[in-house]
Amino acid sequence: MPTRFSNQLILDLEAVLSPPRFATYLREAGGDRQKAMALYCWNTDVSAAFYVMLQFCELSIRNGAVEAIETVFGANWHLNRGFVYTLPAPARGYRPREDLADCAAKLPTAGKVVAELKFAFWRFMFLKGQQPRIWDHHLARTFPGYDKALTLSQARARLFDDIDEVRKLRNRIAHHEPIFARNLAEDHARIRRIIEWRRPDVAAWLDGTQQVTTLLAGRP
């Protein structure tokens, strides 16, 4: 992207972005419109770079969870009432039990259900209540790279916390929101940790291909 913007281009870009959205960057840049645009471009680039890692992270989470769930509840776990009733049914906010029921009713296979469930669903798979029935027996197998200095309960709790923060980052990127105010180095570490716990060799491979750390070092 350009490193120098004409005044007209800044006005045009501000119209595309919307003045309130651009104002977020303008405040961070101390009112300097050139610096604000440079920050916006950097935010866009680093968001794109994170998106690559988020794909591997999300697949690590959901496929690791599915492997464990299938072992306990069978290949048709999405139809197993015993499993369904392990899910919370809050009065407000996201409802994992309802999400699963909706997907199971309209989709023909467990694989299609997995692809359709919201990312928030998988966070609920790592709640404390799932520890004895799923993670005490299957965390070490499905996330073999987990930190062995932690107990299985601590590892499950770490995954839950990491997934929650990754979900927040993912949602901001998906909605084209600024992420520059987050601790992006910590976000990168969380994402990498989840992938490493699932398959260490994949995390090591991504170290040589990802662009996040380079972009973080070059923030304007």
Tokens 């007209």 correspond to 8
CA nearest 69: which of 101, 114, 109?
114
Number of domains in the chain: 1
Is the residue at 143 inside a domain? yes
Alpha-carbon gap, residue 81 to 204, rounded angstroms? 39
Is the residue at 203 inside a domain? yes
Q: What domain range includes position 189?
A: 7-217
Identify the pLDDT of residue 128. 95
Torsion sign across C-alpha atoms 35, 41, 44, 50: negative
Q: Are 203 and 192 in contact (CB under 8 A)?
A: yes
Is the residue at 207 inside a domain? yes
Q: Are 68 and 60 in contact (CB under 8 A)?
A: no
Query: pLDDT by residue for the chain (220 residues), tens digit each?
Result: 556 788 899 899 889 989 999 999 999 999 999 999 999 999 999 999 999 999 999 999 999 999 999 999 999 999 999 999 999 888 889 999 999 999 999 999 999 999 999 999 999 999 999 999 999 999 999 999 999 999 999 999 999 999 999 999 999 999 999 999 999 999 999 999 999 999 999 999 999 999 999 999 999 9
Is the residue at 2 inside a domain? no
Is the residue at 27 inside a domain? yes
Alpha-carbon gap, residue 209 to 178, rounded angstroms? 24
Task: Name the token pair of 14.
Answer: 């501000």
Alpha-carbon gap, residue 126 to 123, rounded angstroms? 6
Q: Which residues contact 51 (CB under 8 A, 6 or more apart)?
A: 173
Identify the pLDDT of residue 1. 53
Is the residue at 58 inside a domain? yes
Q: What counts of helices (H) and strands (E) characterise the chain? A: 12, 0
Identify the pLDDT of residue 74. 96
Is the residue at 22 inside a domain? yes
Is the residue at 1 inside a domain? no
Could you give the 3-state DSSP secondary structure of residue 26?
Answer: helix
